[in-house]
Amino acid sequence: MMYLGIAMLVIGAILALVGVLQKSKAKKILAAPFKKTGEVAANPAVADAKGRVSAEGNMVVQQPLTSPCTNTPCVYYELEVERQWEKSVLTENGTKTEKGWSTISTQKNGVAFSIDDGTGPVGVDARQDVDSPGLQQTFKGPPPGGQGLGILANLVTNAIFNNDERTIGYRATEKLIPAQGRVFAMGKIAGGYITKEDGMLGKVMLSTKGRDGLVGSLNRNALLAWVFGGIVGVGGIPVTIVYWGDVPKSDMCEATFEAEQAKPCKGKIDDDDGQTFTWKVKKDGNYSVKVTQPNVKYPIFPEIILKNSANKVVQKDQGIGKGEDATLSVKLEAGTYKLIVRDIQKGYAAQFKKGGGLSYWVEIHADAGKKADKGDKKQAKKGDDDDKADDKAEDPKAKAGDDKADDKGDDKADDKADKKKKAADDDDK
């Protein structure tokens, strides 16, 4: 939504600029001296300091042009020829067909003619750059005259075609100023003609709307641009403020991994070099890097290469086969490393460059041996408990009791032996 608000602000600014340009053109027309045709022809000094002057009158055409599509007599025409194409693009999900239009030819052509408001003719040179708001559109569609470019084939001779594209059709658009009626002209007076103004952007302005009609149209366009620009732009302000910072989350990998662990993110490769990431390891420890495959028709045969700051390979690993995951487990010291993911098949990824490349998912886990450490601690604790049990079995009190029992038994045996010995001595006596 934040981006929507920004887009609305940009569109509003563009429309405001369009309004300024339209208003500026209207002011320029009003600022130029508007004279009778005969007066302009007789006295070039009626122009302003820049040599600019304007006049309006009925056209007098000696040799009109013939428009290419409709054969309409005219003093000026514009022709645009477009080509419709389609192409097959290989993507990781298979072959897809794309279609579009490309402009292959743009032609502008005019003649010199005269305009006369009844006071005498003055020449107008439309053979050079022309600015003509509101040209009359006389044709739009497939070029007349049969298949392909038809009668326009001789006009479109330097078109550049993409070998990957197949032509499926053409479209021609014709706009013109007919060689009759009334026309307004504004430009620089030179050699008895109203011609284009000086400078790279200098043009001669022609309009069949007349001076007042053209100024009114420009002012109206400026007002509409400002109104709609204001509505869109002002509407974009609260949207931008409310949703500022609400940036849509992308699943694409950043160029640098800085966290000790990185959630799965998406990478793309379209050449043999693959994709290189900077990996900043902040703590010594065990780490694992895993490349997993998306559910696509053409997966990669992955290879992970880890290099240190001296650009030496620390460790690398490959998937078992095409479409299989690859995992790299390594003990690292803190530092900056390069993590490279590529396809081991030369030239394979390049086949998919025009279709967006081949994708994969990569994730990083810190302390890969943590679970094993916990297991060791648990086992060690169990050993300690067993030792305590053994110690308890050898408790001093219990041991003392056993010794006392043993001593008592020994004393009884000794008394019995003494009595037997005394009895034997009495018998001897």
The structure tokens listed for 412 are 């009884």
**At residue 383, does pLDDT exceed 50?**
no
Each residue of 186-208: pLDDT tens digit?
Answer: 999 998 899 999 888 889 999 99
The structure tokens listed for 330 are 């390594």
Q: Does 197 share its domain with 323?
A: no
Last residue of a domain, one of 371, 391, 410: 371
Q: How many CB atoms lie within 10 A of CB 405?
A: 10
Token pair 């290099």: residue:
307
Q: Does 116 share its domain with 50?
A: yes
Confidence at residue 232, expressed as pLDDT on a 0 to 100 scale: 86
**At residue 352, does pLDDT exceed 80?**
yes
The structure tokens listed for 48 are 């302003």
Q: What's the domain count of the chain?
A: 3
Q: 80-84, 303-307, 349-353, 369-373: which range is least confident on average?
A: 369-373
| 332 residue type, one letter | L
Q: How many CB atoms lie within 10 A of CB 205?
A: 22
Asked if 276 and 265 count as a contact pair (C-beta separation under 8 A), the reply is no
Q: What is the mean pLDDT of residues 122-141?
A: 93
Q: Does 203 share its domain with 276?
A: no
Q: What is the mean pLDDT of residues 80-97?
A: 95
Q: Does 262 share its domain with 308?
A: yes
d(CA 354, CA 89): 7
Cα torsion angle, 130, 133, 136, 138, sign: positive
Q: What is the mean pLDDT of residues 270-282?
A: 94
**Phi, psi of 415, deg, nearest 5:** -60, -40
Q: How many CB atoms lie within 10 A of CB 337?
A: 20
Q: What is the mean pLDDT of residues 289-305?
A: 92
d(CA 35, CA 56): 8
Comparison of pLDDT for 350 and 423, the residue scoring more: 350
Residue 249 lies in a domain: no
Residue 210 lies in a domain: yes
Q: Does 419 share its domain with 314?
A: no
Asked if 230 and 91 count as a contact pair (C-beta separation under 8 A), the reply is no
Each residue of 282-292: pLDDT tens digit?
Answer: 999 999 999 99
Across the chain, mean pLDDT equals 84
Query: Do β-strands 94-110 and 275-281 pair in parallel, antiparallel, or remain unpaired?
Result: unpaired
Q: Which domain holds residue 416?
A: 379-428
Q: Which residues, including other chains, have CB under 8 Å from residue 339's CB and lie 6 or more apart? A: 257, 276, 277, 278, 279, 289, 304, 305, 306, 362
